[in-house]
Amino acid sequence: MKREVRVEEILERSGKKATIRVSGRVFRPSGGGQPGDSGWLEGEGFRADVRDCAAAGNDLILRIVVKEGEIPLGLEVTATVDEERGRRLSRMHTGEHILSRALENQLPGLYVEKVSVGEKESTVFMTFDGEIGWDDLFRAEETANGVIRADLPVRVERVSRGSEERFKDVKIKWDRITDRDVSVVSIEGYDSIACSGSHVGSTAEVGGLIVTGFKGSAPEWEVRYTLDRQEMLEKHSRVVRVLSREIGCEEEKLPSVMARLQEERREASRKLDKARRYIEIPWEHLSEEPGRVLFFGIENFPLELASSGAKRKIEEDPGCIVGFVSQEEGGGADFILAAGDQVKVDLRGLLKERKELQAKGGGAPGWVQGRAGNGSLPLWKRALLSLVDK
């Protein structure tokens, strides 16, 4: 779609990026959780990409990136809509209506608060006082794809606020609507809602959808989905087939096997928590006054067990520095460096200075831990001693 528009005002400019106001309605503005149209502007010696647009009375506010020339203020330019992207958003938005209605029908009390429609993935934000799990989402997904396959007509009509009878059975948020005329999107026999976004003419045009993930807890939930159903199913199928072979169980048993492994991990973690208090590290004293440096190196020892011993030591002796290194096959190592409150050192700075350690870690000046490419114990000892030799 192409149309002439006039550049009325440059609202903001930063390098190649700009926000402008144009007269003419070739682009559909953002609304209903859907971003505005994108496309191109072209004029004599001028070309720009349109990234988004919003309504401003009878005009449009465009976010653009200038590719060539200067913005022709006060002149007409040719505006072209990216129709492929627009259709993708229309399919995605219609898919949202279908999935949202499936969830609302399936879980009484669930209410869709808002949506964020994207090109690759979209999100539905909901409130629900109960729990939501994958079984709920699989059922809603199945229902939604059944509605898509049914090829139901999708109608969009403008309804005047004065026509109360016309709004019967229409889901509508009156507090968000200021216009006298309201755009109502209806899927025959399935859903009717006030919405300012764009939509396709029938449910079959959506193609198919698949839930990609969800998060939250009662009462606030988020569900993500995409229209790339076949691509996603093939991708997940590859992963499932690999896991099924590695674990040695049938695909449908993978969730229960993973649940059991997670419970075993939690139980092991609880046992480790109890064991930590009894672990005493046999620290080697590398130096005494004026700075006490303690060190211990071992092979394949978990940091989560060593951390309690290191913490206990610097609390007992706030004037010491401790270094713990757990070597692994291949020459690398996990490490913990810690200093008591009476020692003013920057252990993060030590890692940056001693490039030969090839260490990367996070923490505070008095406590860092992480991974190192070099697990040489003599090298780590010399690095720690350099702190008190300064």
* 160 part of a folded domain: yes
Same domain for 219 and 94: yes
- 359 - beta bridge partners? 372
Structural domain contains residue 242: yes
Give the whole-angstrom CA distance, residue 19 versus residue 13: 7
Residues 103 and 151 both lie in one domain: yes
Outline where the chain has alpha helix (H): 83-106, 134-149, 229-247, 254-276, 303-316, 347-353, 377-389
146 and 172 belong to one structural domain: yes
DSSP string, 343-372: ----HHHHHHH-GGG-EEEEEETTEEEEEE
CATH number of the domain within which 58 lies: 2.40.30.130
Q: How many CB atoms lie within 10 A of CB 225?
A: 26
Instruction: Find where tokens 């989905």 sit.
Output: 225
| pLDDT, tens only, 32-49 | 899 999 999 999 999 999
Question: Which of 25, 56, 81 marks a domain boundary?
Answer: 81
Domain stop point among 245, 274, 303: 274
Do 127 and 37 share a domain, yes or no? no
Using a cut of 0.85, tell me whether the model's pTM lies above it: no
Cα distances (angstroms) measured from residue 129 to each of 71, 88, 111, 213: 52, 33, 10, 19
What pLDDT, on a 0 to 100 scale, did the predictor assign at position 280? 84
- Considering the domain boundaries, does residue 335 fall inside one? yes
Cα separation, 39 vs 23, whole angstroms = 16
Residue 261 lies in a domain: yes
> Is the same domain home to 179 and 243?
no
The helix/strand/coil state of 123 is strand
Using the Cα atoms of residue 171, residue 175, residue 179 and residue 180 in order, give the sign of their dihedral. Answer: positive
Same domain flag for 157 and 178: yes
- Tally Cβ neighbours within 10 Å of residue 218: 11
Do 132 and 72 share a structural domain?
no
- Is residue 70 in some structural domain? yes
Q: Tens of pLDDT along the chain (390 residues)?
A: 788 999 999 999 999 999 999 998 889 999 889 999 999 999 999 999 999 999 988 899 999 999 999 999 999 999 999 999 999 999 999 999 999 999 999 999 999 999 999 999 999 999 999 999 999 999 999 999 999 999 999 999 888 776 666 667 778 776 666 667 788 899 999 999 988 889 999 999 999 999 999 999 999 999 999 999 999 999 988 988 888 888 888 888 888 888 888 888 888 878 877 777 777 899 999 987 767 899 999 999 988 888 889 999 999 999 999 999 999 988 999 999 999 999 888 999 999 999 999 999 889 999 999 999 999 999 999 999 998 876
State the CATH number of the domain containing residue 351: 3.10.310.40
Number of domains in the chain: 4
- The whole domain housing 349 covers 284-389
Out of 58, 81, 104, a domain closes at 81
Domain assignment present for residue 178? The answer is: yes
- Is 305 domain-assigned? yes
For residues 223 and 95, membership in a common domain is answered with yes
CA 19 to chain centre: 27
Question: In this structure, are 103 and 178 located in the same domain?
Answer: yes
- 241 in the same domain as 182: no
Question: b/e map of 78-90 (b: 16 or more CB within 10 Å)?
Answer: ebebbeeebebbb
Q: Do 368 and 259 share a structural domain?
A: no
- Position 279 in a domain: no
Predicted local confidence at residue 218, as pLDDT: 94
User: Are 209 and 92 in a shared domain?
Assistant: yes
